[in-house]
A and B are shown apart, each in its own frame.
Chain A
Amino acid sequence: MIFLKLLSRLIKVMRADASPRQIGWGFALGAVMGLTPLWNLHNLLVLLLAVIFPVNLTAAVLGWIVYGMISPLLDPLFHTIGYALLVEIHFLQPVWTALYNTAAVSFSRFNNTVVLGSLAVSLVLLWPNALIMRFLVSAFRTHWTQSIEKWKVIHFLKGNKLVRLYVKIRDLGR
């Protein structure tokens, strides 16, 4: 039931409820949580940002789910990047040492290669994620809703039980 509600919310969002900008940034923040290991101090900060700033939370959940599913596959890459940052780039060593000796920062587990690597990647992808999502939402709303409605396959599917279920779900959000 929660999943159906979430799906309904998502469709509602995609149609008109939030601005593409809010959706884009919500998705980008969710992506940070999805890409990095969940139980870390920085994710509390991300959550706080998502709550304080008027970003779309449904998009954030979507971003968290989408990237959360693919991130384990990217762990070797995160490890390589994290190892390079922590060990191989020497001029950063004093920074890490200072952070290591800063109270409470050790709880962030920044000195884990996967944590730091994934955080770095997610921060790099933050802006592109926001832009791409914003563009996709705008495009969806401008062109694709009406075009898709005209597709023959949609007419066919409208008679289908599954599609009726979709409509039912869609209407849940109205």
Chain B
Amino acid sequence: MRWKGLIPLFLFLVLVFLVFWIWIDRWIEQGIEQAAQSVTGARVEIDNLDVSITRLLLSWQHMQAADPDSTMRNVIETGMVTFKLNPRALLYKRFVIDDIYVSDVRSGTVRDRDGALPERKKPKRRETSPMWEHARAEAQKQLAAMPVMRVDPQQLRASVNTDSLIEIAGLSLPGRADSLEQDLRKTAEAWETFIRDFQPEKTVSDIQYDIAALKNQQLSTVPDIMKALEKTNDIKKRITAVQDTMTIRSAAARSDLARIRAVPEQLRVWADNDYRALLKKARLPDLTFASAGRLLFGNSVLRQMDRIWTVVETARRLMPAKTEKKKPVKTGRRGRTILFTPKHGFPSFLMRHMHVSGRTGTGSSDAGVNLSGDIRGITSQPRIYGNPAVLDLSGSNADGTALSLYGLFDHTLVQFRDTMRIRLTGLPVVRTGLSISDKFPVALSSGSADMTAAVAAGPSSLGVTLDFSVNNASFDTGPESRDLFIQTVQQICARLSTVTVRAVMTADTAGYSLRIDSNLDKELAAALRSMGSKALADAEKRLHAHISDLQKKHAQQLSPLTAQIQSSSLAPVLAYADSTAAMNTVLQGFLEKAQKTLKEKSGTGNLEGKAKDLLEGLLKNK
């Protein structure tokens, strides 16, 4: 045995350790900086990093990471950070930090010097939730194409433009009136032809003569009576013939007369139908609460939801949904590293408990909220660790603004579930970022805002709810707009002191939906409806006048024709009908007289019986 040989070996190891000890701070500092720079794509600087190998303790005084999109600002800046590695886990090549203290965390702070890298490294592409990307894209598309965004007074007027409406809708009155006129002309022609061919004057005159002669006839004997009755029978037959013709014609005449008398009423009904059809076409555009809400707050809400989602996404990134794939260790020699089932229970990386304190503001002009709390269970292998990551931060500032964040990211199962709730109260409204749509020169200028945001996300679904309210609100409405619609918005805003907004976005494999409700959009929707109703009322008047004029015009056109038919065609026909009725009355009187005489002469023989039969026959045929 050569125990003396251990001395140079020991000295060699001590030398190695010394070199390691002297340079380890610098190596680790550079290693962390370079690794972080390759991720962010901008400069990351750590100051005064200190490593205690014996205690496995690591700390630094200050760290700042530049924002790659704005290199004069930091995406994150921290003060003192201290943590200790778990020695037992380290023996298994696992980095487990039981407690880490991070103080004075800030974001968006201004840098002293440019944080751009000399040769800008392309940052690693951040994976964002496809579900959220899809939902946001759909929402943006819908907001851009929202019909109500095109609503303005001109559009309202255009939507009830009477000329274009009449043109589009088409009126039935003119066509029907023309058709009626042609029908009436045909009726007139038919009656004229009938009257020309039908000459009942001589027949009537003869009958009237015979009746007069009959009236003067002496009925002293039964043969006289018989002769008179035969004559009466003959007259009756002739009257019946005329009367039959007149009965048919007078019925037709009366029908035509009724039809002609109904022409003005018919025109009125047709005009009324046309008017109602036009009113249906003159409907206002859809001015529901939801559409007005989107119009006013859609883009702002979406921006706010996007910010909230960024927070969630950042937190989610710390907790991989799948167990990380271990990169092959570079040995300088080829080979494959075979993994076996770990039984020690340590994930590759675990930060059990992080004590965080910091501010949300970016500097002296924006002090923000002093925030502190705990973050627990951040790990690269959630399924091995078996517990969800929990984020619980809260704080307030001197002016009463309070902020709390609570998130639970459970990636311990394949069906992971992330929930997060952010509550902000008493925030001066100028710092909320939620304002009236860019489309309008109206903005919330002061007030105290409360906001609650809740996010729930799974592998194939997500939901974001945003409740926002501003008390003691005042608006900067700017100079009065000439645009009637914007003017209306300005007027509503001027009288409101409270604004409430509730937005709910959901997305899953079936689709996406965004609903925004607000007291302001309800007011606006009511005003828009009122504005639309006025435009509609004006249009109704114009349409009514137009249809009435049309009705009068056609009535005037048809009036001479109907008068002519009545006077020259229908009146004579009806007069004849009346005269035949009078003749029948006279004839009836004569028959009664003959009956009376026959009664007086009764019992004179067979001729008398015959006369009686004849008379009864005539009376029956009456």
Contacts and interface: CB of A to CB of B under 8 A. Distances in A.
B335 interface: yes
Interface stretch (B2-10, B176-184, B494-502): B2-10
Contacts of B334: 75-76, 79, 114
Contact of B92 (A48, A79, A106): A106
A122 to B, nearest CB: 13
B344 A101 contact: yes
Contacts of B343: 97, 101
Contact of B333 (A75, A104, A107): A75
Given A51-B2, A52-B3, A113 B335 contact: yes
Contacts of B88: 103
Given A75-B335, A97-B341, A104 B6 contact: no
B356 to A, nearest CB: 31
A143 B566 CA distance: 159
A54 interface: yes
Given A97-B341, A111-B337, A111-B340, A48 B331 contact: no
Residue of B1, B339, B340 with most chain A CB atoms under a 10 A cut-off: B340
Contacts of A82: 335
Interface string B1-41: 11101101100000000000000000000000000000000
A96 interface: yes
Nearest to A103: B91
Contacts of B92: 101, 103, 106
Contacts of A86: 338
A100 B342 contact: yes
Interface string B328-359: 01011111111111111000000000000000
Interface of B is mostly: loop
Contacts of A15: none
- Counting chain B residues whose Cβ lies within 8 A of the other chain, the interface size class is 20 to 34
A53 interface: yes
B227 interface: no
A36 to B, nearest CB: 9
Nearest to B332: A37
Given A37-B333, A106-B93, A111 B5 contact: no
A113 B333 CA distance: 10
Interface string A28-61: 0000000001000000000110011110000000
A109 B337 CA distance: 8
- Counting chain A residues whose Cβ lies within 8 A of the other chain, the interface size class is 20 to 34
Interface string A9-43: 00000000000000000000000000001000000
B1 A53 contact: yes
A106 B95 CA distance: 13
A112 B335 contact: yes
A111 B337 CA distance: 6
Interface in A91-140: 93, 96-97, 100-101, 103-104, 106-107, 109, 111-115, 117
A114 B342 contact: no
A136 to B, nearest CB: 23
B432 to A, nearest CB: 52
Contact of B6 (A52, A54, A75): A52
A83 interface: yes
A150 to B, nearest CB: 38
A78 interface: yes
A117 B6 CA distance: 29
A114 B331 contact: yes
B202 to A, nearest CB: 133
Interface of A: 37, 47-48, 51-54, 72, 75-76, 78-79, 82-83, 86-87, 93, 96-97, 100-101, 103-104, 106-107, 109, 111-115, 117
Interface of B: 1-3, 5-6, 8-9, 88, 91-93, 329, 331-344
13 contacts: A37-B332, A47-B9, A48-B6, A51-B2, A52-B2, A86-B338, A93-B340, A100-B339, A103-B92, A103-B344, A112-B329, A112-B331, A114-B333
